Amino acid sequence: MLLATQCSSAPTPPGLPPGLPSARGAAAKTQAANPVDSLVRALLDTTAAGSARRADERLGLQAGADVRAFYGPAPAPAWLAADSLGSDAPAALALLAGAPTHGLNAADYGRALLGALRDSLAQPGLPARRARQLARFEVYLTDAVLRFMRDLGRGRLRRYAASARERAAGPTGQPAALLRAGLVNDAVPAAMLAGQPANREYRQLQQALAQWLALPSAPDSAAQHQARYEQVAANLERWRWDALPPTPDYVLINIAACELLVVAHDSVLRRHRVVVGKPTTPTPTLSSAIDRFTLAPDWHVPRSIATREMLPRLKRNAGYLAQGNYALYNGQDHLIDPRSVDWARVTARNFPYTIRQSAGCDNALGNIVFRFANPYAVYLHDTPERQVFAQPYRALSHGCIRLEGPFELAAYLLRRGGQPAQLPSEAACARQPRPREVQLRRPMPLFVRYATCTAEGGHLRFLADPYHRDEVIRRGLFGPKS
């Protein structure tokens, strides 16, 4: 490794935090006149090409802007020792070769080119030719490593959108700065992996994938094996786009699994079945916090349900609402008699009413509803139709999330905040005439995500794709199916 304390007055390269040595300073341990230095500078010079973009295209660089930020205004080798490879280069090459364990394609990171250059350096050759090979290896390895780091931190399909971690870390969180620090501290592998999501779900899935790939697969199952691999890769990519922020405990709802988990310090404390939205009315992914719940809630029927499902029934039978314990209100929030309305003249477009269902055994929200801020008007709630939780396919709702065992979750949330967990029985709650709000002392972080592959005890768990979202990501990562 050629990095040392900076000994010149050259300015710190753009994108690097103060105090980190520049590539020029890093080369101080090399001979004063190193032909590779000038060759590296020539490769990175954008003057002849007319623009950085054209220079990158000419060289075939995938992360040209990051490469130039890494080397700064006075480029000098970082991967070389004298006229051969330094100790950090093999570690970087090994990690690039292991890209498939992260759901990435090793071919995207110059595996063939770097392998050929490395092999050529093991052969005797003229000094001038060897210097050119060393310079090319230097630049292309940096390009491959920085692109790998960018893809790992942001996602291969969204590499131009900074991750939340990058935004929080500022300049020190950029790949060029991370890699420079890794070279200084003899920690290149750690630096290359530093930007990937840190949340439990990503880590466990990536580790399970690495173990799965190490197992032998039967030749006659190659196509299925590849399809499974691509499914895992698509989900790792999803987590890179939308990783969970650091928090010691949280509620995670996986739409594809129809499951709610209560997680604390990487351990699953509670597991509940849920019903999620139908493919035509999907449950949205979101991040929020449960801050309260309502016992014996009223249900304010969403306009979409009122106009699409209830209005046709009202046109046939104005007494329909009374049968379900519903009430009709006009635009001034005054209760009105449905029989007084000329339903033949009401359409979905001019529907001026709101419909509410009072608390009771038949209330669509059941006996309890958990509230959390979100722009989609969805919530987590009980249901009178408990039999649906026994069904393996539970993408059945209009978008809200129905929960099995809601009172158990409520009691846990109260205990977590040091509040008395004295909840009424479900029968008593159903008889209560008016809703009652319970505010949580400690709001619980809530994340709703869509993952069609998870890890359980180090093993991959493959799930259905009810919203048919995998194929778009799979195609972006691997191209059309052959």
Domains along the chain? 23-196 (no CATH), 202-296+366-482 (2.40.440.10), 299-357 (no CATH)
Among residues 381, 429, 459, 468, which one is catalytic?
381
- H/E element holding 167? helix 164-169
Quick check: is 381 catalytic? yes
Which one, of 303, 205, 281, 286, lies nearest residue 252 by Cα?
286
The structure tokens listed for 413 are 């949330």
d(CA 444, CA 62): 42
Which one, of 465, 475, 480, 454, lies nearest residue 232 by Cα?
454
| Share in percent of the chain as helix, strand, coil (round to 5) | 45, 15, 40
Each residue's pLDDT expressed in tens, for the chain with a length of 482 residues: 444 333 333 333 333 434 344 443 444 444 345 789 999 999 999 888 889 999 899 999 999 999 999 999 888 899 998 888 999 999 999 999 999 999 999 999 999 999 999 999 888 878 899 999 999 999 999 999 999 999 999 999 998 888 888 888 888 889 999 999 999 999 999 999 999 999 999 999 999 999 999 998 877 788 999 999 999 999 999 999 999 999 999 999 999 999 999 999 999 999 999 999 999 999 999 999 999 999 988 878 888 888 888 899 998 988 888 887 788 898 888 988 988 888 888 898 899 988 888 776 667 788 899 999 999 989 999 998 889 999 999 999 999 999 999 999 999 999 999 998 778 877 776 666 678 899 999 999 999 999 999 999 999 999 999 999 999 999 999 999 87
d(CA 220, CA 344): 63
- Three-state DSSP class for residue 310: helix
In contact, 25 and 9? CB cutoff 8 Å: no
- pTM for this one? 0.85
Among residues 102, 258, 272, 400, which one is catalytic?
400
CA distance to 126, 235, 240, 349, per residue, from 458 (Å) = 51, 16, 20, 52
The structure tokens listed for 368 are 């309890």
Quick check: is 258 catalytic? no
Name the phi and psi angles at 367, rounded to 5.
Answer: -100, -5
The structure tokens listed for 285 are 């992914």
